[in-house]
Chains A and B, each alone.
Chain A
C-alpha cells in the first residue's frame, strides 16, 4: 500500500527531472559596463541593475535563454568580445558604422541622443561649440567623446567612467560633459549633490540607436536576440521597463 502511495510522488520527481534536462535553457554570457546609470549600474547590494539589464532579461525570456551578466570596464569591452570572454555586450552601445564594420548588432532596441551638461553658473553656453577654448569631458570611446572631438577648438577630456567626468566638473576642472540623454538626466537632475550645480542645456543633438553587440558572424545569436526583441516590443514590455528606469 505504501508503495502505491509513493508512486505519484516518484512519477512527479522523474517528470520534473526530465523536464529540467530537456528544457535546460541555453545560457549566454553578456558584458556590461555598469557605470552608466540608469541604463546599467551596480546597486547597493552589488547587483547589476538598470534598463538594459531588465530589457535583456525580458528578451532572453522571450527567446528562451538565460543571461549571465559580467561587469566589464568600457575601455576594452569590445576587446573582450574579440577574445571570446563573453557572447554579447549590452551596455548602451550606439550602433555606428565604425562599430558595425567590426561587430554584428541586433536591431536597435531604443533610441537616444547626446546632450550637453554644464554648471549652472554658465548662463550662455547652449552647444559644445560655445565652449571653445575650454575642456569638455566624456567617457572614453563613446559616441559622446566622438561628438566632442568633432568640434574644433574644444579640448576633449576622456574619462574611464562618466561619473568621474561629472565629479571633475563639480571640482571645476572642466566646463561641460557630453553623454547619452538618460545618463545626463540621471546625473544632472536626480543626483542630490549635482542637482544644484549642473543643468542640461538644449535638446539632444544626435539620433542614435542602442543595439546588442555580438561577435562578427554570430548570426545565430543575432537572430535569437532579434526574435526576443520583437516579442518584447510586441508585448510593450519595453515601455514598462523604460518607465521604470528612465522617466
Chain B
C-alpha cells in the first residue's frame, strides 16, 4: 500500500532536545539565542565575577570529560543492544521474539534511576565491575530497550516489497536484511537516535548518584563545601545547556546532509 510512497516514513520519537528545523533560518532563532546567550553568560560570569565563579569553572572540567565518556560509551553499547533486540522484535522465531520483547517491556517499565541503583549495587555483589563501566552498562541497558523500538520501527518502515524484491533476486533473508533493508533503515533511524543521544547526555547526570565524578557530581561536591548552591548550579545548568544545544545542531546538520545526499 505504501510501496509507491517515499521510502523514508518519518518516525516520531520525541524525547531529546528540540532539534532546530532547517526552515527556521532567521537570525534570532531560539537555538541561537539559547546557545550564544549561554556562552556569553558563562564568559561574563567567569571573567566579570571571577571571585564567585572562576573557581567553579576550574573545578568542574574533569567532570565534563566523565560525562562525555559515560554518554559516548553508553550510546555505542545502547545501539548494539538496540539493534540486536530490535531485530529480535521482528523475528518470526518465537523464542527470540519473546526474549527481545520481554527485555523491552521489562526495561521500559523500570525507572532509569532504579535500574542504575540495581545494576550498580545489586550486581556488584556477584560480579566485580569497575564503577564507571557499570554506570555505562546500566545506562546502555536501559537505553537499548528504547533503541530497540526505534530500530524495529525503522526496519518496519522500509516497504515489504523491498524484501520481496531482494528475495526474488536470489538473496537470502539475512543477506537482504544486511544489504538492502538495514542500510535504508539506518537513514530513517538516525534522527531519533540523535534524539536519544541528547536525552542520554542529559540522563547521564543520574550516574552522579553512583559516585561517578561526572559534571553534576563535581558541581555538588563544590557546592556542598562552599555552600554556593545558586552559583554552582547556575554554572552546571549552563554547561549542560551548551552541550545539548551544540549536539542537537550537529545532529540536525548531519540529518540535512543525509537528506541532500539522497
Contact = CB atoms under 8 A, between A and B. Distances in A.
Contacts of B204: none
Interface in A196-239: none
B227 A102 contact: yes
A55 interface: no
A119 to B, nearest CB: 13
23 contacts: A74-B224, A76-B223, A76-B229, A79-B229, A82-B229, A98-B226, A102-B227, A141-B220, A145-B225, A158-B211, A158-B213, A158-B221, A159-B211, A160-B209, A160-B211, A164-B121, A165-B211, A167-B124, A170-B124, A170-B125, A171-B121, A171-B125, A172-B128
Given A79-B227, A79-B229, A159-B211, A168 B131 contact: yes
A173 B124 contact: yes
A80 to B, nearest CB: 10
Interface in B199-213: 209, 211, 213
Given A164-B121, A167-B121, A167-B124, A146 B130 contact: no
Contact of B211 (A76, A78, A146, A168): A168
B152 interface: no
B89 interface: no
B45 to A, nearest CB: 20
Interface in A164-203: 164-165, 167-168, 170-173
Contacts of B213: 157-158
Contact of A78 (B128, B209, B220, B227): B227
Interface in A147-169: 157-160, 164-165, 167-168
B211 A75 contact: no
A172 B127 CA distance: 10
Nearest to B123: A171
Contacts of A159: 211
Given A158-B217, A171-B125, A172-B128, 9 more contacts: A75-B224, A78-B224, A79-B223, A98-B225, A102-B227, A146-B225, A165-B211, A168-B131, A173-B130
Contacts, number: 57
Q: For chain A, give the interface size range.
A: 20 to 34
B224 A141 contact: yes
Interface of B: 121, 124-125, 128, 130-131, 209, 211, 213, 217, 220-221, 223-227, 229
Contacts of A102: 227
A137 interface: yes
A112 interface: no
Give the interface SS of chain B, mostly helix, strand, loop or mixed. Answer: helix
Contacts of A167: 121, 124
B172 to A, nearest CB: 46
Nearest to A103: B227
B221 A157 contact: no
Contacts of A241: none
Most buried by B among A74, A98, A164: A164
Given A141-B224, A160-B209, A171 B217 contact: no
A165 B124 CA distance: 13
Interface in A54-88: 74-76, 78-79, 82
A141 B227 CA distance: 9
A140 B121 contact: no
Given A79-B229, A157-B211, A160-B209, A168 B224 contact: no
A195 to B, nearest CB: 17
Interface in A121-136: none
A171 B227 contact: no
B224 to A, nearest CB: 3
* In the A-B complex, the 4 residue pairs with the closest CB atoms: A141-B224, A171-B124, A79-B229, A159-B211
B55 to A, nearest CB: 14
A137 B211 contact: yes
B131 A141 contact: no
Contacts of B124: 167-168, 170-171, 173
Nearest to A81: B227
Most buried by A among B220, B223, B225, B229: B225
Nearest to B127: A171
B161 to A, nearest CB: 53
A171 B128 CA distance: 7
B125 to A, nearest CB: 7
Contacts of B128: 171-173
B227 A140 contact: no
Nearest to B212: A157
Nearest to B226: A98
